[in-house]
């Protein structure tokens, strides 16, 4: 599989597959493809894995696209201004990603549910109790909101993030929450009651424009219906 990512604020990844090669994605992610790409809809792993994907914010079914009779082309576009990034998944290179961050991958990659080990991190950390984990072997494409800033955290090194800004982490990192200190800070600081804390070792990807923040800003300008 070969690919090219085009576009700036609204990117698309265009993949070229040799005959017999396959990729999978969630429903509705395919933007365009050549006529020799065959689509098969499947739970892709059985009912257990399908249910786990639903908990992680994805669909019950996945679409598998296979090139038949020669090289095929298929494109996957981002659904929000931001960035599409490729990740080479392999042993020791598993990635944990925010809900809805998965775009497409080669069929050797496994998309599964990831439960936070610490219950508090799931309830208050901003990414929900469940995230997604990419494992297996192959290339995967993730879509993030806005610009991406990357950090390498050493063992025990931490980064504190506001809700929703954590896009992805290497599976070697741990995720927890911490309370914003001081009652006045909690009530009037505008940053909420909790922050997400990521502890290394590992690489993290931080996004600058979470769609939840954009929705909140837009909501302020929508006139309320008078009674």
Q: What is the CATH number of the domain that holds 158?
A: 3.60.160.10
Q: What is the mean pLDDT of the chain?
A: 83
Beta pairing partners, 17 = 72
Q: Does residue 146 sit within a domain? A: yes
Q: Give the residue numbers spanning the domain of 36.
A: 2-219
pLDDT at 8: 86
The mean per-residue pLDDT over the stretch 163-178 comes to 90
Identify the residue with better confidence: 41 or 177: 41
Which position has the token pair 């300008």? 221
The mean per-residue pLDDT over the stretch 198-207 comes to 96
Q: Does residue 224 sit within a domain? A: no
> Is residue 112 very low, low, confident or very high in pLDDT (cuts 50, 70, 90)?
confident
The mean per-residue pLDDT over the stretch 37-47 comes to 78
> Is residue 184 very low, low, confident or very high in pLDDT (cuts 50, 70, 90)?
very low
Q: Does residue 154 sit within a domain? A: yes
SS3 at position 171: coil
Q: Does residue 105 sit within a domain? A: yes
Q: Does residue 100 sit within a domain? A: yes
> Is residue 57 very low, low, confident or very high in pLDDT (cuts 50, 70, 90)?
low
**Domain tally, the chain:** 1
């Amino acid at each position: 599989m070969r690919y090219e990512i085009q576009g700036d604020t609204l990117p698309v990844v265009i993949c070229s597959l040799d005959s017999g090669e396959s990729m999978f994605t969630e429903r509705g992610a395919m933007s365009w493809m050549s006529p020799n790409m065959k689509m098969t809809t499947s739970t892709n792993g059985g009912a257990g894995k399908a249910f786990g994907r639903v908990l992680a914010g994805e669909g019950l079914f996945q679409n598998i696209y296979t090139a038949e009779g020669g090289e095929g082309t298929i494109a996957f576009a981002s659904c929000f201004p931001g960035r599409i990034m490729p990740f080479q998944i392999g042993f020791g290179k598993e990635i944990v990603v925010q809900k809805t961050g998965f775009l497409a991958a080669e069929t050797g990659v496994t998309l599964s549910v990831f439960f936070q080990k610490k219950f508090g991190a799931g309830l208050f950390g901003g990414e929900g109790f469940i995230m997604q984990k990419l494992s297996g072997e192959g290339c995967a494409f993730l879509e993030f909101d806005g610009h991406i800033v990357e950090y390498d955290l050493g063992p025990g090194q931490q980064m504190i993030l506001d809700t929703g800004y954590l896009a992805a982490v290497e599976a070697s990192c741990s995720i927890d929450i911490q309370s914003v200190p001081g009652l006045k800070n909690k009530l009037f600081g505008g940053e909420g009651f909790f922050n997400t804390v990521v502890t290394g070792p590992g690489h993290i990807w931080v996004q600058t424009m979470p769609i939840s923040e954009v929705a909140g800003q837009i909501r302020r300008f929508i006139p309320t219906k008078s009674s």
